[in-house]
Amino acid sequence: MASKDINNQSADELKQHLLDLRKEQFNLRMQKGSGQLTQPHQLRRVRRDIARTKFVLGSKK
């Protein structure tokens, strides 16, 4: 998700988005562990999206 989209969301929407990202990260880690991960760059993308979301949440407080 782009930074502009993240900045325009409310705190509740950001918390829900963060929860979804963490679930996606967990699923990708499980795929990696079982050798089924076909796109390893997705792990990096999700990790960075989590960091962006947490940064915006912190700045909105």
pLDDT digits (tens, 9 = 90+) for 10-60: 889 999 999 999 999 999 999 999 999 999 999 999 999 999 999 999 988
The pLDDT value recorded for residue 6 is 84
The tally of domains found in the chain comes to 1
Please report whether residue 24 resides in a domain: yes
Please report whether residue 5 resides in a domain: no
Sequence-distant (6+) residues with CB within 8 A of 36 are none
Closest CA to 17 of 57, 44, 58: 57
Contact call for residues 47 and 1 (beta carbons, < 8 A): no
Residues spanned by the domain of 42: 10-60
